[in-house]
Amino acid sequence: MRLEKIVYKKLLEVPKGKVTTYKELAKAVGIKNGQRAIGKIMNKNPFPAIVPCHRVVNSNGTIGGYAYGQKVKNNMLSKEGIKIKNGKILDFEKNVHRF
């Protein structure tokens, strides 16, 4: 199976109202120090309505980039109940999904 499919399948485990980090997702699929690789895979996600790449954020609690813009990502996370202030997730550790 291609790496992209493995990553997208793993990402489907992150429930609505939770986020995971690029690092956590990389570790979950067996890519050591694979944060950048995960970011590139998320950026090319052909199914953003199905595979919730907006739920992948930076390890420091900032929301990170998004192919459709940070404002869109911020809005999507907010609609799922994630509270964000100045581009940073409030109660970050409480909202992180660990695999």
> Could you tell me the CATH number of the domain that includes residue 17?
1.10.10.10
End-to-end CA distance of the chain: 20
74-94 per-position pLDDT tens digit: 999 999 999 999 999 999 999
36-69 per-position pLDDT tens digit: 999 999 999 999 889 999 999 999 999 999 989 9
Report the pLDDT value the prediction gives residue 49, as an integer from 0 to 100. 86
Q: Which of 53, 56, 57, 82 is catalytic?
A: 53
Cα separation, 15 vs 13, whole angstroms? 6
pTM of the model: 0.94
Task: Give the range of the structural domain holding residue 22, as residue numbers without chain letter.
Answer: 3-95
Question: Quick one: average pLDDT of 20-34?
Answer: 96
Question: Quick one: average pLDDT of 14-34?
Answer: 96
Q: How confident is the model at residue 8 (pLDDT cuts 50, 70, 90)?
A: very high
pLDDT at 1 over 90: no
Please check whether residue 72 is in contact with residue 97, taking contact to mean a CB–CB distance below 8 angstroms. no
Active site residue 37: no
Cα separation, 81 vs 76, whole angstroms? 9
Place of tokens 């909202």: 95
Report the number of distinct structural domains present in the chain. Answer: 1
